């Protein structure tokens, strides 16, 4: 699957080519804040072939990663004194970040950062749902989000891992207007915008482990999960779940040297967007 921003209406993201503005609630960007920015850039450059350009200075040392000149993700240095987790964080699109942040608070979530401006790029906030899972809110101006998705080295899918879905689904429905398509088996659901799947929620029960916290998990597309896992190990990362075949394709879960966990996936042809979360 190849998704390139600004070339027709993408049936998964709901992005209108004319406005290049994602439908509110669409995961439009992903960002990682770490202590050693240079080392993290080197890891992902060697793993995914990313190149980097400076991002808005209001965010501190921050860079945008790109593939073939198209932006795919952001990397930044974690601010001193902040307890932000070292984790890939999806940003959900909005037309008014201040209003959305207010709705987050009203619905039982918290806002840890912002709302604040990132130069002319846009306006953002970092929030958490009532279970504690962290996500970003992005009101794009010059920067609307990732320019390409679904190709090797870019974002493929986002999945919320939580003990059970019933406690968080009403929150996301109220804040972002999602419709929900429950899975026929198990405690999982797909989040829909205008009948298009945009993300999934997986109730994993005790599988989060003792002290484990609910979290959003980013899936990156790769051509060969097994080869990618070997590369992660060579570069100083670790494997959390070895490659395996699932209902919708082959996946593995890994962590970079800074501890940020992500999934690499090669979906089966015609699997559909929701299947990438398997």
Closest CA to 40 of 261, 274, 258, 265: 258
Task: Say yes or no to pLDDT of 243 above 90.
Answer: yes
Residue 80's pLDDT band (cuts 50, 70, 90): confident
Residue 211's pLDDT band (cuts 50, 70, 90): low
Task: Say yes or no to pLDDT of 83 above 80.
Answer: no
Task: Say yes or no to pLDDT of 262 above 80.
Answer: yes
Residues 6+ apart with CB under 8 A from 81: none
The pTM score is 0.88
Task: Say yes or no to pLDDT of 176 above 80.
Answer: yes
3-state secondary structure 33-94: EECCHHHHHHHHHHHHCCEEEECCHHHCCEEEEEECCEEEEEEEECCCCCCCCCCCEEEEEC
Kindly report, residue by residue over 213-223, the tens digit of the pLDDT. 899 999 999 99
pLDDT at position 208 is 66
Residue 270 burial by Cβ neighbours in a 10 Å radius (0-12, 13-18, 19+): exposed
Mean pLDDT of 75-79: 89
Query: Biggest alpha carbon distance in the chain?
Result: 47
Residue 261's DSSP bridge partners are: 255
pLDDT at position 119 is 86
Residue 34's pLDDT band (cuts 50, 70, 90): very high
Which of 150-164, 197-211, 243-257, 258-272 tops mean pLDDT?
Answer: 150-164
Comparing 57 with 134, the larger pLDDT belongs to: 134
**Could you tell me what percent of the chain has a pLDDT over 90?**
72
Q: Rounded to a whole number, what is the distance in angstroms from the first to the last CA of the chain?
A: 16
pLDDT at position 32 is 97
Residue 205's pLDDT band (cuts 50, 70, 90): confident
Residue 208 burial by Cβ neighbours in a 10 Å radius (0-12, 13-18, 19+): middle
């Amino acid at each position: 699957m190849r998704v390139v921003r600004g070339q027709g209406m993408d049936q998964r993201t709901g992005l209108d080519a004319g406005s290049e503005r994602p439908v509110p609630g669409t995961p439009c960007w992903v960002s990682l804040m770490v202590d050693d920015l240079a080392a993290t850039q080197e890891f992902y450059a060697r793993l995914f072939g990313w190149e980097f350009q400076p991002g808005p200075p209001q965010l501190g040392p921050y860079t945008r990663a790109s593939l073939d000149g198209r932006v795919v993700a952001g990397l930044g240095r974690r601010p001193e004194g902040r307890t932000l987790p070292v984790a890939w964080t999806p940003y959900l699109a909005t037309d008014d970040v201040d209003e959305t942040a207010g709705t987050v608070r009203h619905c039982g979530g918290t806002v840890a950062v912002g709302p604040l401006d990132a130069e002319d790029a846009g306006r953002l906030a970092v929030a958490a749902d009532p279970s504690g899972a962290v996500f970003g809110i992005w009101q794009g101006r010059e920067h609307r989000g990732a320019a390409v998705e679904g190709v090797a080295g870019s974002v493929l899918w986002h999945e919320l891992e939580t003990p059970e879905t019933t406690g968080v689904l009403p929150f996301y429905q109220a804040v972002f207007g999602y419709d929900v398509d429950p899975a026929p088996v198990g405690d999982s659901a797909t989040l829909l915008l205008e009948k298009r799947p945009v993300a999934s929620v997986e109730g994993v029960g005790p599988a989060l482990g003792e002290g484990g916290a609910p979290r959003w998990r980013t899936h990156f597309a790769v051509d060969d999960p097994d080869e990618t896992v070997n590369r992660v190990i060579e570069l100083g990362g670790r494997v959390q779940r070895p490659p395996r075949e699932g209902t919708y394709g082959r996946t593995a879960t890994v962590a970079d040297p800074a501890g940020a966990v992500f999934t690499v996936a090669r979906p089966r042809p015609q699997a559909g967007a929701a299947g990438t979360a398997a």
